[in-house]
Amino acid sequence: MLKFTEDHEWLNVAGDIATVGITDHAVEQLGDLVFIDLPEVGAQLGKGDAAATLESVKAASDVYCPLDGEIVEVNEAIVNDPSIVNADAQGAGWFFRLKLANAADAEGLMDEAAYKAMVE
């Protein structure tokens, strides 16, 4: 199940695990990424908490935790090479995996059609 937030994050939800990244649209706006700071595995985050920091050639921005949950895995590859996110934001450029506190919370997020309508 692919879901989106108003902060331009995507979530690929399988059971109670959500893989989270930023959208192609977000990457296009940010330009070349040069630095990514990811959360610690094991961090308990609430919806809207700053989960990751990223810097592009232009500016710094935060990536917010889209739902309540625990960070269970982070993508170290993008820390070593942020350009992976520019090349494949909605695939190899994922940021972290979140064990959702309530799997049903994801139902309330936008689907792809609603997200596309929002950014157009």
Residues that bind another protein (CB under 8 A): 31-32, 34-35, 37, 53, 55, 57-60
The tokens for 75 are: 């993508």
As a whole number of angstroms, the distance between CA 59 and CA 57 comes to 6
Closer Cβ to another protein, 14 or 34, answer by number:
34
Q: In whole angstroms, how close is the CB of 45 to another protein at the nearest point?
A: 16
In the complex with another protein, which residue's Cβ is closer, 31 or 48?
31
Lookup: tokens for 83: 């350009």
Name which of 31, 72, 87, 73 is nearest 54 in CA terms: 31
Distance CA 24, CA 110 (A): 16
Least spacing, CB of residue 25 vs another protein, in Å: 13
**Which of 68, 81 has the CB closer to another protein?**
81
CB of 54 to another protein, least distance (A): 10
Closest distance to another protein from the beta carbon of 11 (Å): 24
The 10 Å Cβ neighbour count of residue 7 is 15
CB-nearer residue toward another protein: 55 or 73: 55
CA 115: distance to chain centroid? 14
